[in-house]
Amino acid sequence: MAKKQGPPDVPSPAAATEGKGKLKLIILIVLGLLLAVGVSVGATLYFMSQGEADKPADDAASEDAAPQRQAAIYEVLAPAFIVNFTNAGGRQRYMQVSVALMSRDQAALDGLKEHMPLLRNQLVMLFSSQDFASLATPVGQEMLRQQATASVQELAQKEIGKLAIEQVLFTNFVLQ
């Protein structure tokens, strides 16, 4: 049986004012949140800028207290070292190494240059005494670099009386 249909529900004037009241409340809450976020960002920026204003005075005091480190000086040993050594299987192997010396004292480096033939001889002997299998790994190459550094530092201490070299660097390393 057919149901009787009436006119569609028309909102009452009381419901319309209630909806407008909720909209106003939502707008006020959103505005309050935006205001709170703006105040917190402003306060953060204000306090951060005060910290930066005080910071240069602290940096200047710490720079005066710490001694300044001199710039690094590099001396490239040319030509590159080429050494041969015999592998365990009896096969002849070759190694080419380009070496640079790092120092922070130009006078000590110049004093060591007088002993360059002795230094090159010591490095050739060190390089040629290595095992091919150990040099094929990065760890073996780093160990060789550290041995070369110790060898050069020992030579510098013996010949000129001070450690002229901070590090020995390999700028090219080829195994064949």
Query: How far apart, in whole angstroms, are the C-alpha atoms of residue 70 and residue 106?
Result: 10
For residue 55, the model assigns a pLDDT of: 56
More confident residue, 103 or 5: 103
Q: Give the least confident one: 10-24, 40-54, 97-111, 139-153.
A: 10-24
pLDDT tens digits for range 112-165:
889 999 999 999 999 988 888 888 889 999 999 999 999 999 999 998 888 888
For residue 96, the model assigns a pLDDT of: 93
pLDDT at 13 over 80: no
Copy the structure tokens of residue 22: 């909720």
Query: How far apart, in whole angstroms, are the C-alpha atoms of residue 176 and residue 160?
Result: 36
pLDDT tens digits for range 34-81:
888 888 888 788 887 876 665 555 555 455 555 677 888 899 998 999
Quickly count: other Cβ atoms within 10 Å of residue 62's Cβ: 9
pLDDT at 11 over 70: no
For residue 79, the model assigns a pLDDT of: 92
Residues written for the chain: 176
Phi and psi torsions of 154, nearest 5°: -65, -45
More confident residue, 135 or 14: 135
Q: Which residue spans within 14-72 are E strands per DSSP?
A: none
Q: What is the largest CA-CA distance in the chain?
A: 120
Query: How far apart, in whole angstroms, are the C-alpha atoms of residue 99 and residue 81?
Result: 8
For residue 132, the model assigns a pLDDT of: 83
